[in-house]
Chains A and B, each alone.
Chain A
Amino acid sequence: MKGVAARSEGTVRLGPGTLYGSLKRLLEAGLVEEARERADPERGDERRRYYRLTPLGLSVVRAEARRLDALVRAARRKKLIGVRPA
């Protein structure tokens, strides 16, 4: 949640309900899965569960990134972003 807040520069703040609601939907869609092993065994609580992207999830996130990239490039071409206001 902290990572999301940091990456979005504080514009997106996830609460536990929103986070686990999203996780539930991602799990049901097969985009993420529960990881048996912890990313860093030295850190973290044993009671916590860890999730990772599935190959399908990775394909979907890449496709979404490409779509956003195309949008951003189109916006740049139209000079909607990336231009300092005069």
Chain B
Amino acid sequence: MSLRRKKFLGTFLLISFFLSFFILEYNFAQQVTQEEQEEATQAKEGQEKIIPSPQNIKESTGIYVFVAWMWIAIFVLIYILKLKIREVDRLLKLRFLSATKK
């Protein structure tokens, strides 16, 4: 994979990673209807213990999408980093980079 492609892929995944935050927030802030909000408030007043969890299917989907994107982004970044490590280790072996003690 060329460096340009890698950079493109990395940027795309990073943007997707951060965008998934907004997907999640969008579900929380916009998609919950007035009725659902009222129901949730009533239920909240009645219960003694608050256990945070997705309130509806939209929220759960948002969370799963976020987690899936996060792990995909992590594995791609790790793959890129492994390539970089191989490259810098090779340069070290060729004595291009010095490992002299300070």
The answer to whether A and B come from one shared complex is no
Residues of A within 8 A of B (CB): none
Question: Measuring CB to CB, which residues of chain B are less than 8 angstroms from any residue of chain A?
Answer: none
